[in-house]
Chain A
Amino acid sequence: MVYVELLVSTLTQGLIYALLSYGVYITYKILDFPDLTVDGSFPLGAAVTAVMMIGGMNPYLVLVVAAIIGAVAGLVTGLIHVKLGVRDLLAGIITMTGLYSINLQIAGSNMPIDRSIDTIFTAAPTMMLFGDMSLMHRKFIVSIILAVIVKLLLDLYFKTKSGLLLRAVGDNDILVTSLAKDKGTVKIVGLVIANALVALCGSVVCQEQRTFSSTMGTGQVVFGLATVIIGTTLFKRMGFVKGTTAVMVGSIAYKICIQLAINFGLPANLLKLAMAVLFLIVLVLGDRKKGGASRA
């Protein structure tokens, strides 16, 4: 029984963090832009969530506002990169570093949310639909719904003209220029959507854990990149599986790996080290399948 519960909570984690993976999928896989803003926009989403929740705002509305504020973080990185000509990696680092202070300004180093405040898992509409379930199962159901809705919206977006152009710019930005479109603007749009998703993920995590901590962003880029690579590598031979589905599975698989490591007695202090090693393994194995390792 305890194992079933552990599995459900691990799956819940994987589904919630899939929102972040979608964002990294857009920047890393579609735009070919290693966006480090994530380490800052994830806690940014959580920080504004904690403040707004304590201020008594509707928890569902909080999700929307957090996503919009995350979008602004993406916009900043995009403008630094496109308009000021700073390299992609550095543009993300600048925003991420600045956001650390901003997050501290917003919510301090720690901000717990009191049990009396309703989150998306305990507020009225959720209780009306799934009120007879235990909190754990309710969290599970809500995260499935969130992960699937966002996935379907993204799939739909990728089929629009704007989405097609976004996919084209990562594939071949010269072609986008010759279509009389500004490739810089398209990249900014991608960064905006991606960081909105990351901040949305931060908001859900904050509501789920009922706390914000200024260090919760550390390692989120590595997590996101690893899940994207796990997901896309797993389903590489299955063309019909959409990228968004692949990274959702990647996110779940990743969380299961980490949970297993903890169950086998990995001390919490070594968690980030384990994450880094897992990422390295994924990178090397993913590359090997591409035939990349043959150059060594």
Chain B
Amino acid sequence: MMPLGLWGHDVNDFDEAIEDDDVQNNMVCDEGNTNFDALLKDNNQPLYESCTKYSKLSFMLKLYHIKCMCKMSDKAMTMILDLLKDAFEHAKFPNSLYEAKNVITKLGLNYVKIPACPKDCMLYWGEENEGLEECKRCKTSKWKDKNKKQYAKILRYFPLKSRLQRLFMCSKTTDSMTWHASKNNQDGLMRHPRDSEAWKTFDLLHPEFVNDPRNVRLGLATDGFNPFGNMSTSHSIWPVVLIPYNRPPWECMKQTSFILSIIIPSKQMAGNDIDVYLEPLIKELKELWYDGVQTFDYSKKEMFTLRTTLMWTISDFPGLGNLSGWNTYWSCLPYL
């Protein structure tokens, strides 16, 4: 599972950010300054002497980006690294792929693995549940293989905060994040959700949220698919994707602006139990609504408190039933 591989742009976007010294110096790093110092050190080292174009870090990122874009295997990557090191002795390449990966995780775009009950009862997550060895309800073990420390089922959760912060820290995206408030629509036609009634009602009800146009509004989309192409194998993965509606319509619906939030793996789809898996996301969304998170705004060069709201969910009709809890087999309920 390569999170960066799926969403190759992550590396790319951050790459831009890294090249800006301003951003770097002001970057807020939750994991403490040690990581950041290491990154900074890597970035200040030129790839080889008298090289101005690439630093050690930026080269590594570009290389990793290529790996992700072309879906290269880890083995191929290791071989290339070996070859490069062999051919150019003075250049500072990462020693191994493992080392490169370690550096890249420090950028703060990694994900959290949360063990889950294989029968969708609960997550081993949060203070009280984390230490448990078996499910509270069905008593199924947490482990698939305890000696090898393999979990029976893993939910991959991609923390939202750092991803939102990055949107503001990157010089390329920070301007478009206030688009929805900047240019008013003149002719009364609807082009973007901001022209819609639901959006306007929300504005009326939450004036303190609207005051700062930088606050992010998200849409949540989810659907199941079979990752193994072959439809005869039953497997259904539910990725949950967040869409920032702050950006102009021609940007917000591009693949590059989607934020992958959760990957729910399963043989059978989670169905009504999808709520269990959404828990971490909802918790983070709540935090982002009440407290917000300190973020650096590149365009104005200042810190501000970023708050977030979830506007609506988008899914196909059975998915809608799962998310809302309305029994869609029987009847339809308009405008849920």
Do A and B make up one complex? no
Residues in chain B within 8 A of chain A (CB atoms): none
